[in-house]
Amino acid sequence: MTDFPWPRGSATGIGSLPGTDVAEAQKIVLGELPNLPHLPELPDRGPGADMVGRGAAFLVELPVELYAARWRVASRPGRDRRRALDLLERDLDQMTEQADGFAGTFKVQAAGPFTLAANIDLALGGRILRDHGAVRDLSESLAEGLRTHVADVRRRLPAATILLQLDEPSLPAALGGRIATESGLYTYRSIESTTAGSLLRTVVEAAAAPVVLHCCAPDVPLDVVRASGAAAVALDMSLVDKLDPLGEAIDAGLGLFAGSGQATSAAVADQVRGVWRQLGFPDQRLPDQVVVTPACGLAGTPAADARRALTAVREASQRLQEV
């Protein structure tokens, strides 16, 4: 069986947590998820800490700015990008301090190219997604930025294995031509699956680290995920309604970050194990190939509930090792 770049019986978070105190958030993550901690994201801090703003900050020679509460391509780097980079630097400094000497697998997250293209406007109006040439340019820009980001994290945590998560909630809609134009009367032209796989592979290969492609939407395009070269897919188990494609992907060696919104560790473990058995795989294989996570990010969740969710997935991962 494929060797996976995370410890057996791991659990992790998707990324976002409630609140504005990054020091406390990193402390919680390291305490609750010792096998596979991650860099927490705190969008409650405002623009630049949100998924799109932070993702846009990784773009190289493609500056962005806020205009009418939306991100758009700018003529030159400005204060909005500087704010996003400053927030990221603070987060990385806390990671460096609190995870000093960490020698396991550590995960960082970034929005993927199609989610950014569907949520950032061109300077003259309309989403980047309207111009497929611009989508390609964005993908190459993001690839270069994430190459630098992963290298920076690796330098800060030299004993750790770095895992990159690409967040692509907009990918199924981009492929299906379901992203609405500004008027709401039309939708943007769909992206071909082969093009999507190729552009994602550009980002995956540039990262020079194992990549998890995360999509907490229905109809996750597993063919595109596999074509991208990602090591794993992260999805909400409650949204999986077609088991055959998932089974084929797992059988081919794709790792699974199984997201569960169940309230207790027993219920989380039962849900994950139940789907695994429906797929026809032996229980002994599950702790190696599956990482247990919350169903999606936890921003907007009360702090106590968010912490309980992390505890539940950690305890569920331990239960799933009991064969």
294 DSSP 8-state letter: E
The tokens of 197 are what? 């796989």
The proportion of the chain whose per-residue pLDDT surpasses 90, expressed as a percent, equals 94
Higher-scoring residue by pLDDT: 148, 125: 148
Q: Left if phi > 0, otherwise alpha if psi is -120 to 50, otherwise beta: which for 110?
A: beta
The tokens of 17 are what? 């947590």
pTM above 0.85, yes or no: yes
22 DSSP 8-state letter: H
Domain ranges, ordered by start, for the chain: 46-230
Whole-number Å distance between alpha carbons of 170 and 180: 12
Identify which of 179, 170, 178 has the alpha carbon closest to the alpha carbon of residue 200. 170
* pLDDT above 80: residue 256: yes
Kindly report, residue by residue over 76-109, the tens digit of the pLDDT: 999 999 999 999 999 999 999 999 999 999 999 9
The mean per-residue pLDDT over the stretch 256-275 comes to: 97
pLDDT at 184: 83
pLDDT at 183: 82
Whole-number Å distance between alpha carbons of 154 and 118: 30
Match 């947590």 to its residue by tokens.
17
